[in-house]
Chains A and B, each alone.
Chain A
Protein backbone atom coordinates (compact mmCIF):
# COMPACT_ATOMS: atom_id res chain seq x y z
CA UNK A 1 0.00 0.00 0.00
CA UNK A 2 1.36 3.44 -0.89
CA UNK A 3 2.13 6.19 1.60
CA UNK A 4 -1.04 7.96 0.48
CA UNK A 5 -3.03 5.18 2.05
CA UNK A 6 -1.44 5.93 5.40
CA UNK A 7 -3.12 9.29 5.56
CA UNK A 8 -6.45 9.44 7.29
CA UNK A 9 -8.90 10.23 4.48
CA UNK A 10 -10.27 13.72 4.66
CA UNK A 11 -13.94 14.48 4.82
CA UNK A 12 -15.41 14.69 1.34
CA UNK A 13 -15.60 18.46 0.98
CA UNK A 14 -17.36 18.65 -2.38
CA UNK A 15 -20.88 18.43 -0.88
CA UNK A 16 -19.84 20.99 1.74
CA UNK A 17 -18.76 23.34 -1.04
CA UNK A 18 -22.23 23.16 -2.56
CA UNK A 19 -23.64 25.43 0.13
CA UNK A 20 -21.35 28.44 -0.50
CA UNK A 21 -21.53 27.72 -4.23
CA UNK A 22 -25.33 27.99 -4.25
CA UNK A 23 -25.20 31.06 -2.01
CA UNK A 24 -22.69 32.76 -4.34
CA UNK A 25 -24.74 31.84 -7.40
CA UNK A 26 -27.78 33.38 -5.74
CA UNK A 27 -25.73 36.49 -4.89
CA UNK A 28 -25.01 36.92 -8.60
CA UNK A 29 -28.70 36.57 -9.48
CA UNK A 30 -30.25 38.61 -6.68
CA UNK A 31 -29.70 42.32 -7.31
CA UNK A 32 -29.94 43.54 -3.72
CA UNK A 33 -27.44 42.52 -1.02
CA UNK A 34 -29.91 43.03 1.90
CA UNK A 35 -32.42 40.78 0.13
CA UNK A 36 -29.75 38.14 -0.42
CA UNK A 37 -28.71 38.24 3.26
CA UNK A 38 -32.35 37.98 4.37
CA UNK A 39 -32.99 35.04 2.06
CA UNK A 40 -29.76 33.31 3.06
CA UNK A 41 -30.50 33.57 6.78
CA UNK A 42 -34.09 32.45 6.13
CA UNK A 43 -32.80 29.49 4.13
CA UNK A 44 -30.27 28.50 6.79
CA UNK A 45 -32.91 28.80 9.53
CA UNK A 46 -35.38 26.70 7.56
CA UNK A 47 -32.64 24.16 6.87
CA UNK A 48 -31.69 23.93 10.55
CA UNK A 49 -35.30 23.30 11.56
CA UNK A 50 -35.68 20.61 8.91
CA UNK A 51 -32.40 19.07 10.09
CA UNK A 52 -33.68 18.88 13.68
CA UNK A 53 -36.83 17.11 12.47
CA UNK A 54 -35.04 14.84 9.96
CA UNK A 55 -31.90 13.79 11.88
CA UNK A 56 -33.74 11.23 13.99
CA UNK A 57 -35.47 9.73 10.98
CA UNK A 58 -32.25 9.25 9.03
CA UNK A 59 -30.62 7.47 11.98
CA UNK A 60 -33.70 5.28 12.43
CA UNK A 61 -33.58 4.36 8.76
CA UNK A 62 -29.84 3.71 8.78
CA UNK A 63 -29.79 1.70 11.99
CA UNK A 64 -33.09 -0.13 11.88
CA UNK A 65 -33.83 -0.13 8.15
CA UNK A 66 -37.28 1.16 9.04
CA UNK A 67 -39.24 3.50 6.77
CA UNK A 68 -41.26 5.42 9.31
CA UNK A 69 -43.84 7.55 7.51
CA UNK A 70 -45.38 8.37 10.89
CA UNK A 71 -42.37 10.48 11.90
CA UNK A 72 -44.50 13.51 11.00
CA UNK A 73 -46.89 12.58 13.81
CA UNK A 74 -44.14 13.19 16.39
CA UNK A 75 -43.55 16.63 14.86
CA UNK A 76 -47.25 17.49 15.09
CA UNK A 77 -47.66 16.09 18.59
CA UNK A 78 -44.64 18.07 19.77
CA UNK A 79 -46.11 21.26 18.38
CA UNK A 80 -49.53 20.65 19.98
CA UNK A 81 -48.09 19.70 23.37
CA UNK A 82 -45.98 22.88 23.35
CA UNK A 83 -49.07 24.88 22.37
CA UNK A 84 -50.95 23.43 25.35
CA UNK A 85 -48.13 24.56 27.63
CA UNK A 86 -47.66 27.98 26.02
CA UNK A 87 -51.31 29.11 25.79
CA UNK A 88 -51.85 29.19 29.57
CA UNK A 89 -48.48 30.94 29.87
CA UNK A 90 -49.40 33.61 27.30
CA UNK A 91 -48.72 36.32 29.86
CA UNK A 92 -45.11 35.15 30.13
CA UNK A 93 -44.54 34.67 26.39
CA UNK A 94 -45.92 38.10 25.58
CA UNK A 95 -43.94 39.88 28.30
CA UNK A 96 -40.96 41.96 27.15
CA UNK A 97 -38.59 39.94 29.30
CA UNK A 98 -36.27 37.34 27.80
CA UNK A 99 -36.22 35.42 31.10
CA UNK A 100 -40.02 35.23 31.30
CA UNK A 101 -40.15 34.13 27.66
CA UNK A 102 -37.57 31.42 28.36
CA UNK A 103 -39.43 30.35 31.49
CA UNK A 104 -42.42 29.61 29.27
CA UNK A 105 -40.63 28.16 26.26
CA UNK A 106 -38.21 25.80 27.98
CA UNK A 107 -40.92 23.78 29.80
CA UNK A 108 -42.93 23.75 26.56
CA UNK A 109 -39.97 22.32 24.65
CA UNK A 110 -39.20 19.77 27.36
CA UNK A 111 -42.85 18.67 27.50
CA UNK A 112 -42.99 18.40 23.69
CA UNK A 113 -39.81 16.30 23.56
CA UNK A 114 -40.91 14.10 26.47
CA UNK A 115 -44.35 13.37 24.99
CA UNK A 116 -43.00 12.85 21.46
CA UNK A 117 -40.26 10.56 22.86
CA UNK A 118 -42.75 8.56 24.94
CA UNK A 119 -45.05 8.26 21.95
CA UNK A 120 -42.04 7.10 19.91
CA UNK A 121 -41.33 4.39 22.49
CA UNK A 122 -44.91 3.09 22.35
CA UNK A 123 -44.91 3.35 18.56
CA UNK A 124 -41.69 1.35 18.22
CA UNK A 125 -42.81 -1.37 20.64
CA UNK A 126 -46.38 -1.74 19.36
CA UNK A 127 -46.33 -0.82 15.67
CA UNK A 128 -42.77 -1.01 14.31
CA UNK A 129 -41.40 -4.06 16.13
CA UNK A 130 -43.74 -6.60 14.49
CA UNK A 131 -42.76 -5.43 11.01
CA UNK A 132 -38.94 -5.23 11.22
CA UNK A 133 -37.46 -6.17 7.86
CA UNK A 134 -40.79 -5.91 6.00
CA UNK A 135 -40.71 -2.63 4.10
CA UNK A 136 -44.14 -2.80 2.47
CA UNK A 137 -45.81 -3.51 5.80
CA UNK A 138 -43.77 -0.72 7.40
CA UNK A 139 -45.05 1.78 4.86
CA UNK A 140 -48.65 0.68 5.28
CA UNK A 141 -48.67 0.48 9.06
CA UNK A 142 -46.73 3.71 9.66
CA UNK A 143 -48.99 5.59 7.21
CA UNK A 144 -51.90 4.14 9.20
CA UNK A 145 -50.23 5.29 12.41
CA UNK A 146 -49.88 8.81 10.98
CA UNK A 147 -53.60 8.92 10.11
CA UNK A 148 -54.58 7.65 13.56
CA UNK A 149 -52.31 10.25 15.19
CA UNK A 150 -53.81 13.07 13.08
CA UNK A 151 -57.35 12.03 13.95
CA UNK A 152 -56.43 11.69 17.63
CA UNK A 153 -55.16 15.28 17.52
CA UNK A 154 -58.54 16.34 16.06
CA UNK A 155 -60.24 14.64 19.00
CA UNK A 156 -57.95 16.15 21.66
CA UNK A 157 -57.23 19.63 20.28
CA UNK A 158 -59.98 20.05 17.70
CA UNK A 159 -59.76 20.36 13.91
CA UNK A 160 -59.03 24.10 13.74
CA UNK A 161 -55.69 25.74 13.12
CA UNK A 162 -54.41 27.18 16.40
CA UNK A 163 -52.46 30.45 16.38
CA UNK A 164 -49.16 30.31 18.26
CA UNK A 165 -47.48 33.74 18.42
CA UNK A 166 -43.74 33.94 18.86
CA UNK A 167 -42.52 35.08 22.27
CA UNK A 168 -42.23 38.87 22.43
CA UNK A 169 -38.44 39.02 22.59
CA UNK A 170 -38.08 36.77 19.53
CA UNK A 171 -40.26 38.96 17.33
CA UNK A 172 -38.78 41.63 15.11
CA UNK A 173 -35.38 41.83 13.48
CA UNK A 174 -31.80 42.74 14.06
CA UNK A 175 -31.01 45.71 11.81
CA UNK A 176 -27.55 46.17 10.29
CA UNK A 177 -27.75 49.17 7.94
CA UNK A 178 -30.12 48.09 5.15
CA UNK A 179 -30.06 44.48 6.27
CA UNK A 180 -32.80 43.10 8.51
CA UNK A 181 -32.39 39.64 10.02
CA UNK A 182 -35.31 38.13 11.87
CA UNK A 183 -34.40 37.31 15.47
CA UNK A 184 -36.27 34.01 15.44
CA UNK A 185 -34.30 32.83 12.42
CA UNK A 186 -31.04 33.53 14.22
CA UNK A 187 -32.31 31.50 17.18
CA UNK A 188 -33.27 28.65 14.83
CA UNK A 189 -29.75 28.65 13.34
CA UNK A 190 -28.17 28.58 16.81
CA UNK A 191 -30.43 25.75 18.03
CA UNK A 192 -29.82 23.77 14.82
CA UNK A 193 -26.05 24.16 15.15
CA UNK A 194 -26.23 23.13 18.82
CA UNK A 195 -28.22 19.98 17.93
CA UNK A 196 -25.78 19.13 15.14
CA UNK A 197 -22.77 19.67 17.42
CA UNK A 198 -24.33 17.52 20.14
CA UNK A 199 -25.10 14.73 17.66
CA UNK A 200 -21.62 14.97 16.14
CA UNK A 201 -19.97 14.69 19.55
CA UNK A 202 -22.26 11.87 20.62
CA UNK A 203 -21.64 9.87 17.45
CA UNK A 204 -17.88 10.50 17.22
CA UNK A 205 -16.68 10.83 20.78
CA UNK A 206 -18.70 8.33 22.80
CA UNK A 207 -18.97 4.57 22.96
CA UNK A 208 -22.72 4.64 22.33
CA UNK A 209 -22.00 6.73 19.23
CA UNK A 210 -19.48 4.14 18.07
CA UNK A 211 -22.13 1.48 18.58
CA UNK A 212 -24.70 3.46 16.59
CA UNK A 213 -22.28 4.05 13.69
CA UNK A 214 -21.32 0.38 13.65
CA UNK A 215 -24.98 -0.63 13.88
CA UNK A 216 -25.87 1.53 10.87
CA UNK A 217 -23.27 -0.44 8.85
CA UNK A 218 -23.88 -3.97 10.10
CA UNK A 219 -26.22 -4.57 13.04
CA UNK A 220 -25.77 -8.36 12.87
CA UNK A 221 -22.02 -8.06 13.45
CA UNK A 222 -22.60 -5.68 16.35
CA UNK A 223 -24.79 -8.37 17.94
CA UNK A 224 -22.08 -10.95 17.26
CA UNK A 225 -19.72 -8.80 19.32
CA UNK A 226 -22.08 -9.16 22.27
CA UNK A 227 -24.10 -5.94 22.15
CA UNK A 228 -27.89 -5.92 22.38
CA UNK A 229 -28.43 -3.71 19.36
CA UNK A 230 -32.22 -3.72 19.77
CA UNK A 231 -31.81 -1.64 22.92
CA UNK A 232 -29.81 0.85 20.88
CA UNK A 233 -32.60 0.76 18.25
CA UNK A 234 -35.17 1.72 20.86
CA UNK A 235 -32.96 4.48 22.29
CA UNK A 236 -32.36 5.97 18.85
CA UNK A 237 -36.04 5.75 17.96
CA UNK A 238 -37.04 7.55 21.17
CA UNK A 239 -34.32 10.20 20.74
CA UNK A 240 -35.33 10.69 17.09
CA UNK A 241 -38.97 11.11 18.09
CA UNK A 242 -38.03 13.60 20.81
CA UNK A 243 -35.97 15.60 18.28
CA UNK A 244 -38.97 15.57 15.95
CA UNK A 245 -40.99 17.00 18.85
CA UNK A 246 -38.40 19.77 19.29
CA UNK A 247 -38.46 20.45 15.56
CA UNK A 248 -42.25 20.60 15.68
CA UNK A 249 -42.14 23.31 18.36
CA UNK A 250 -39.61 25.34 16.39
CA UNK A 251 -41.52 24.94 13.12
CA UNK A 252 -44.83 25.90 14.78
CA UNK A 253 -43.32 29.05 16.29
CA UNK A 254 -41.74 29.86 12.91
CA UNK A 255 -45.12 29.53 11.16
CA UNK A 256 -46.99 30.96 14.19
CA UNK A 257 -49.75 28.39 13.69
CA UNK A 258 -50.30 24.77 14.61
CA UNK A 259 -52.38 22.34 12.55
CA UNK A 260 -52.84 18.59 12.57
CA UNK A 261 -51.48 18.39 9.01
CA UNK A 262 -48.20 20.21 9.69
CA UNK A 263 -46.21 17.03 10.24
CA UNK A 264 -47.47 15.46 7.04
CA UNK A 265 -46.69 18.64 5.09
CA UNK A 266 -43.12 18.89 6.29
CA UNK A 267 -42.47 15.15 5.79
CA UNK A 268 -42.03 15.71 2.06
CA UNK A 269 -39.10 18.05 2.74
CA UNK A 270 -37.72 15.66 5.36
CA UNK A 271 -37.71 12.72 2.95
CA UNK A 272 -36.00 14.85 0.31
CA UNK A 273 -33.36 15.85 2.86
CA UNK A 274 -32.54 12.34 4.07
CA UNK A 275 -32.43 10.99 0.51
CA UNK A 276 -30.15 13.83 -0.63
CA UNK A 277 -27.90 13.39 2.42
CA UNK A 278 -27.55 9.62 2.11
CA UNK A 279 -29.82 7.36 4.15
CA UNK A 280 -28.41 6.97 7.66
CA UNK A 281 -25.89 9.83 7.42
CA UNK A 282 -26.32 12.60 10.00
CA UNK A 283 -23.69 14.79 8.31
CA UNK A 284 -25.40 14.27 4.95
CA UNK A 285 -28.74 15.10 6.52
CA UNK A 286 -27.29 18.38 7.83
CA UNK A 287 -25.87 19.42 4.45
CA UNK A 288 -29.03 18.24 2.65
CA UNK A 289 -31.26 20.25 4.98
CA UNK A 290 -29.24 23.43 4.44
CA UNK A 291 -29.33 22.93 0.67
CA UNK A 292 -33.10 22.41 0.72
CA UNK A 293 -33.63 25.48 2.91
CA UNK A 294 -31.45 27.73 0.76
CA UNK A 295 -32.82 26.51 -2.58
CA UNK A 296 -36.43 26.86 -1.38
CA UNK A 297 -35.83 30.48 -0.36
CA UNK A 298 -33.73 31.56 -3.34
CA UNK A 299 -36.02 29.95 -5.92
CA UNK A 300 -39.09 31.25 -4.08
CA UNK A 301 -37.75 34.76 -4.60
CA UNK A 302 -36.26 34.40 -8.09
CA UNK A 303 -38.86 32.16 -9.74
CA UNK A 304 -41.92 31.74 -7.52
CA UNK A 305 -43.73 29.67 -10.16
CA UNK A 306 -41.24 26.82 -9.88
CA UNK A 307 -40.64 27.17 -6.14
CA UNK A 308 -42.83 24.17 -5.29
CA UNK A 309 -40.84 21.83 -7.48
CA UNK A 310 -37.41 23.28 -6.76
CA UNK A 311 -36.49 20.80 -4.05
CA UNK A 312 -37.64 17.84 -6.14
CA UNK A 313 -35.41 19.18 -8.91
CA UNK A 314 -32.53 19.55 -6.44
CA UNK A 315 -33.01 15.94 -5.32
CA UNK A 316 -33.05 14.69 -8.91
CA UNK A 317 -29.86 16.58 -9.76
CA UNK A 318 -28.03 15.33 -6.67
CA UNK A 319 -29.11 11.74 -7.24
CA UNK A 320 -27.99 11.93 -10.86
CA UNK A 321 -24.59 13.06 -9.57
CA UNK A 322 -24.44 10.79 -6.51
CA UNK A 323 -27.10 8.06 -6.63
CA UNK A 324 -26.49 7.04 -2.99
CA UNK A 325 -26.76 10.62 -1.71
CA UNK A 326 -24.08 13.14 -0.70
CA UNK A 327 -22.58 11.00 2.08
CA UNK A 328 -23.52 7.37 1.46
CA UNK A 329 -23.26 5.08 4.45
CA UNK A 330 -21.33 1.84 3.89
CA UNK A 331 -23.82 -0.90 4.62
CA UNK A 332 -23.20 -4.62 4.61
Chain B
Protein backbone atom coordinates (compact mmCIF):
# COMPACT_ATOMS: atom_id res chain seq x y z
CA UNK B 1 0.00 0.00 0.00
CA UNK B 2 1.50 3.40 -0.96
CA UNK B 3 1.61 6.33 1.41
CA UNK B 4 -0.71 9.30 0.89
CA UNK B 5 0.96 11.44 3.54
CA UNK B 6 4.51 11.33 4.84
CA UNK B 7 6.09 13.57 7.46
CA UNK B 8 9.88 13.66 7.65
CA UNK B 9 11.82 15.59 10.28
CA UNK B 10 8.97 18.06 10.85
CA UNK B 11 9.70 20.76 13.42
CA UNK B 12 7.20 23.37 14.58
CA UNK B 13 7.83 26.35 16.84
CA UNK B 14 5.02 28.31 18.48
CA UNK B 15 6.54 31.52 19.76
CA UNK B 16 9.59 30.47 21.76
CA UNK B 17 8.30 26.94 22.28
CA UNK B 18 9.70 24.09 20.22
CA UNK B 19 6.67 21.81 19.96
CA UNK B 20 7.32 19.32 17.17
CA UNK B 21 10.92 18.13 17.32
CA UNK B 22 11.46 16.08 14.19
CA UNK B 23 8.24 14.19 13.57
CA UNK B 24 8.42 11.23 11.17
CA UNK B 25 5.50 9.00 10.22
CA UNK B 26 3.46 7.95 7.22
CA UNK B 27 -0.24 7.57 6.54
CA UNK B 28 -0.97 4.69 4.14
CA UNK B 29 -3.43 5.42 1.35
CA UNK B 30 -6.98 4.20 1.97
CA UNK B 31 -6.51 3.32 5.64
CA UNK B 32 -7.21 4.85 9.01
CA UNK B 33 -4.15 5.86 11.01
CA UNK B 34 -4.53 6.76 14.66
CA UNK B 35 -2.19 9.27 16.27
CA UNK B 36 -1.96 8.49 19.97
CA UNK B 37 -0.10 10.17 22.80
CA UNK B 38 -0.47 11.83 26.15
CA UNK B 39 -1.83 15.36 26.51
CA UNK B 40 0.78 17.82 25.31
CA UNK B 41 2.60 15.25 23.17
CA UNK B 42 2.07 17.39 20.05
CA UNK B 43 -0.78 15.57 18.27
CA UNK B 44 -2.95 18.61 17.65
CA UNK B 45 0.10 20.67 16.65
CA UNK B 46 0.91 17.93 14.17
CA UNK B 47 -2.52 18.17 12.49
CA UNK B 48 -2.40 21.98 12.48
CA UNK B 49 1.07 21.89 10.94
CA UNK B 50 -0.13 19.55 8.18
CA UNK B 51 -3.01 21.98 7.50
CA UNK B 52 -0.59 24.91 7.36
CA UNK B 53 -2.30 26.64 10.30
CA UNK B 54 1.11 26.62 12.00
CA UNK B 55 4.11 26.62 9.72
CA UNK B 56 6.73 23.91 9.99
CA UNK B 57 10.11 25.49 10.74
CA UNK B 58 11.90 22.48 9.22
CA UNK B 59 11.15 19.17 7.56
CA UNK B 60 9.01 17.84 4.73
CA UNK B 61 5.28 17.14 4.64
CA UNK B 62 4.65 15.16 1.49
CA UNK B 63 1.05 14.74 0.37
CA UNK B 64 0.25 12.72 -2.72
CA UNK B 65 3.78 13.21 -4.01
CA UNK B 66 4.28 16.93 -3.40
CA UNK B 67 5.73 18.87 -0.48
CA UNK B 68 3.01 20.95 1.18
CA UNK B 69 4.98 22.21 4.19
CA UNK B 70 5.24 25.76 2.85
CA UNK B 71 1.75 26.01 1.36
CA UNK B 72 -1.00 28.20 2.76
CA UNK B 73 -3.95 26.62 4.58
CA UNK B 74 -6.45 27.21 1.72
CA UNK B 75 -3.97 25.71 -0.75
CA UNK B 76 -3.58 22.62 1.46
CA UNK B 77 -7.37 22.26 1.79
CA UNK B 78 -7.80 22.62 -1.98
CA UNK B 79 -5.61 19.56 -2.51
CA UNK B 80 -8.43 17.49 -1.02
CA UNK B 81 -7.68 17.54 2.70
CA UNK B 82 -10.61 17.92 5.09
CA UNK B 83 -9.97 19.05 8.67
CA UNK B 84 -12.08 18.63 11.79
CA UNK B 85 -10.40 20.54 14.62
CA UNK B 86 -10.66 19.61 18.28
CA UNK B 87 -12.95 22.61 18.80
CA UNK B 88 -15.09 21.32 15.88
CA UNK B 89 -14.94 24.76 14.26
CA UNK B 90 -18.61 24.91 13.36
CA UNK B 91 -20.10 28.30 12.56
CA UNK B 92 -22.60 28.72 15.39
CA UNK B 93 -24.55 31.57 13.80
CA UNK B 94 -24.97 29.76 10.47
CA UNK B 95 -27.67 27.15 9.89
CA UNK B 96 -26.68 23.49 9.51
CA UNK B 97 -27.54 23.89 5.82
CA UNK B 98 -25.25 26.92 5.50
CA UNK B 99 -22.37 25.18 7.30
CA UNK B 100 -22.54 22.36 4.76
CA UNK B 101 -23.11 24.64 1.77
CA UNK B 102 -19.98 26.61 2.64
CA UNK B 103 -17.91 23.43 2.77
CA UNK B 104 -19.10 22.37 -0.69
CA UNK B 105 -16.56 24.47 -2.56
CA UNK B 106 -17.22 23.12 -6.02
CA UNK B 107 -20.86 24.21 -6.20
CA UNK B 108 -24.33 23.31 -4.91
CA UNK B 109 -24.74 20.44 -2.46
CA UNK B 110 -24.82 17.02 -4.11
CA UNK B 111 -28.25 15.59 -3.14
CA UNK B 112 -27.07 11.97 -3.39
CA UNK B 113 -24.03 12.55 -1.17
CA UNK B 114 -26.18 14.50 1.25
CA UNK B 115 -28.58 11.55 1.57
CA UNK B 116 -25.58 9.28 2.17
CA UNK B 117 -24.44 11.58 5.01
CA UNK B 118 -27.97 11.78 6.44
CA UNK B 119 -27.91 7.98 6.50
CA UNK B 120 -25.42 7.98 9.37
CA UNK B 121 -26.04 11.48 10.75
CA UNK B 122 -29.87 11.74 10.58
CA UNK B 123 -29.94 14.57 13.14
CA UNK B 124 -28.49 16.91 10.52
CA UNK B 125 -31.53 16.41 8.31
CA UNK B 126 -33.82 17.03 11.25
CA UNK B 127 -32.12 20.27 12.21
CA UNK B 128 -31.37 21.39 8.65
CA UNK B 129 -32.41 25.02 9.12
CA UNK B 130 -31.41 25.41 12.75
CA UNK B 131 -28.39 27.58 13.62
CA UNK B 132 -25.55 25.21 14.41
CA UNK B 133 -25.00 26.88 17.77
CA UNK B 134 -28.29 25.34 18.95
CA UNK B 135 -27.15 21.75 18.35
CA UNK B 136 -26.01 19.44 21.15
CA UNK B 137 -22.31 18.56 21.48
CA UNK B 138 -22.72 15.27 19.64
CA UNK B 139 -24.72 16.86 16.85
CA UNK B 140 -22.10 19.57 16.46
CA UNK B 141 -19.45 16.88 16.10
CA UNK B 142 -21.61 15.14 13.48
CA UNK B 143 -21.92 18.42 11.61
CA UNK B 144 -18.16 19.03 11.80
CA UNK B 145 -17.47 15.60 10.30
CA UNK B 146 -20.26 15.91 7.73
CA UNK B 147 -18.79 19.23 6.65
CA UNK B 148 -15.40 17.61 6.13
CA UNK B 149 -16.91 14.87 3.91
CA UNK B 150 -19.59 16.87 2.10
CA UNK B 151 -17.36 16.54 -0.94
CA UNK B 152 -15.03 13.62 -1.62
CA UNK B 153 -11.67 14.25 0.07
CA UNK B 154 -8.43 12.36 -0.33
CA UNK B 155 -7.47 12.77 3.32
CA UNK B 156 -9.37 13.61 6.50
CA UNK B 157 -7.60 14.99 9.55
CA UNK B 158 -9.84 14.54 12.58
CA UNK B 159 -8.89 15.73 16.04
CA UNK B 160 -10.51 13.90 18.95
CA UNK B 161 -14.03 13.40 17.55
CA UNK B 162 -15.26 11.58 20.68
CA UNK B 163 -14.13 14.18 23.18
CA UNK B 164 -16.91 14.87 25.67
CA UNK B 165 -19.45 12.68 23.88
CA UNK B 166 -21.80 10.18 25.55
CA UNK B 167 -21.06 6.44 24.99
CA UNK B 168 -24.18 5.98 22.85
CA UNK B 169 -23.07 8.75 20.51
CA UNK B 170 -19.54 7.33 20.38
CA UNK B 171 -20.97 3.95 19.28
CA UNK B 172 -22.88 5.82 16.58
CA UNK B 173 -19.65 7.56 15.54
CA UNK B 174 -17.88 4.19 15.20
CA UNK B 175 -20.55 3.10 12.73
CA UNK B 176 -20.24 6.36 10.84
CA UNK B 177 -16.46 6.00 10.56
CA UNK B 178 -16.82 2.37 9.40
CA UNK B 179 -19.12 3.62 6.66
CA UNK B 180 -16.57 6.27 5.80
CA UNK B 181 -13.79 3.69 5.65
CA UNK B 182 -15.74 1.81 3.00
CA UNK B 183 -15.08 4.74 0.69
CA UNK B 184 -11.51 5.32 -0.41
CA UNK B 185 -10.97 8.19 2.02
CA UNK B 186 -7.73 8.07 3.98
CA UNK B 187 -8.11 9.19 7.60
CA UNK B 188 -5.62 10.46 10.16
CA UNK B 189 -7.34 10.44 13.53
CA UNK B 190 -6.11 11.93 16.78
CA UNK B 191 -7.90 10.08 19.56
CA UNK B 192 -7.68 9.49 23.30
CA UNK B 193 -10.49 6.96 23.49
CA UNK B 194 -8.66 3.71 22.88
CA UNK B 195 -11.73 1.54 22.33
CA UNK B 196 -12.77 3.92 19.57
CA UNK B 197 -9.27 3.97 18.09
CA UNK B 198 -8.88 0.18 18.30
CA UNK B 199 -12.24 -0.41 16.64
CA UNK B 200 -11.29 1.68 13.64
CA UNK B 201 -7.51 1.98 13.35
CA UNK B 202 -5.42 0.13 10.79
CA UNK B 203 -2.10 1.70 11.71
CA UNK B 204 -0.94 3.71 14.69
CA UNK B 205 1.69 6.33 15.48
CA UNK B 206 2.42 7.21 19.09
CA UNK B 207 3.80 10.64 19.97
CA UNK B 208 5.68 11.76 23.04
CA UNK B 209 7.32 15.14 23.71
CA UNK B 210 7.02 16.32 20.12
CA UNK B 211 8.36 13.15 18.49
CA UNK B 212 6.87 9.96 17.10
CA UNK B 213 8.16 7.16 19.31
CA UNK B 214 6.32 4.21 17.79
CA UNK B 215 4.65 3.29 14.54
CA UNK B 216 3.05 0.02 13.53
CA UNK B 217 -0.21 -1.80 13.17
CA UNK B 218 -3.06 -1.06 15.57
CA UNK B 219 -3.75 -4.76 16.07
CA UNK B 220 -0.21 -5.40 17.27
CA UNK B 221 -0.23 -2.50 19.73
CA UNK B 222 -3.71 -3.37 20.99
CA UNK B 223 -2.51 -6.85 21.91
CA UNK B 224 0.75 -5.77 23.56
CA UNK B 225 0.01 -4.49 27.06
CA UNK B 226 3.70 -4.07 27.88
CA UNK B 227 4.28 -1.87 24.84
CA UNK B 228 1.22 0.22 25.72
CA UNK B 229 2.60 0.67 29.24
CA UNK B 230 5.97 1.67 27.84
CA UNK B 231 4.66 4.09 25.22
CA UNK B 232 1.73 5.70 26.95
CA UNK B 233 2.44 5.09 30.61
CA UNK B 234 -0.71 3.03 31.10
CA UNK B 235 -2.63 0.18 29.66
CA UNK B 236 -4.72 1.39 26.74
CA UNK B 237 -7.61 -0.72 28.01
CA UNK B 238 -7.82 1.69 30.92
CA UNK B 239 -7.28 4.71 28.72
CA UNK B 240 -10.80 5.38 27.45
- If A6-B126, A226-B77 touch, does A329 touch B93 (CB 8 Å cutoff)? yes
B16-42 interface mask toward A, CB cutoff 8 Å, 1 = contact, 0 = none? 000000000000000000000000000
Tell me whether B91 and A218 are in contact (CB under 8 A).
yes
Interface centre among A211, A213, A217, A329 (most CB of B within 10 A): A217
CB-CB < 8 A to A222: which residues of B?
102
Give the contacting residue for A330; candidates B93, B95, B127; CB below 8 A. Answer: B93
Tell me whether B105 and A9 are in contact (CB under 8 A).
no
CB-CB < 8 A to B122: which residues of A?
none
Tell me whether A224 and B133 are in contact (CB under 8 A).
no
Tell me whether B102 and A214 are in contact (CB under 8 A).
yes
B51 interface hit (Cβ, 8 Å): yes
B58 to chain A, nearest CB (A): 23
A1 interface hit (Cβ, 8 Å): yes
Cα distance, A223 to B78, chains bound together (Å) = 10
A269 to chain B, nearest CB (A): 27
Q: Which residue of A lies closest to B101 (CB)?
A: A210
A322 interface hit (Cβ, 8 Å): no
B169 interface hit (Cβ, 8 Å): no
Give the contacting residue for B102; candidates A1, A8, A225; CB below 8 A. Answer: A225
Tell me whether A211 and B85 are in contact (CB under 8 A).
no
Q: Which residue of A lies closest to B84 (CB)?
A: A224
A214 to chain B, nearest CB (A): 5
Tell me whether A221 and B74 are in contact (CB under 8 A).
no
Cα distance, A207 to B93, chains bound together (Å) = 15
| Segment 29-65 of B: residues with Cβ below 8 Å from A | 51, 53
Give the contacting residue for A223; candidates B77, B93, B98, B105; CB below 8 A. Answer: B77
Across chains A and B, which 9 residue pairs bring their CB atoms closest together, nearest first?
Answer: A226-B77, A221-B89, A330-B92, A223-B73, A224-B83, A226-B78, A214-B91, A228-B74, A217-B91
| 25 cross-chain CB contacts under 8 A | A1-B127, A6-B126, A8-B95, A8-B129, A8-B130, A9-B131, A210-B94, A210-B98, A211-B102, A213-B91, A214-B102, A217-B91, A217-B93, A221-B89, A222-B102, A223-B72, A223-B73, A224-B53, A224-B83, A225-B103, A226-B74, A226-B105, A228-B72, A329-B93, A330-B92
Given contacts A218-B91, A225-B77, A228-B72, 7 further A-B contacts (CB under 8 A): A5-B134, A210-B98, A210-B101, A211-B102, A213-B93, A217-B93, A224-B85
Residues of B within 8 A of A (CB): 51, 53, 72-74, 77-78, 83, 85, 87, 89, 91-95, 98, 101-103, 105, 126-127, 129-131, 133-134, 136, 147
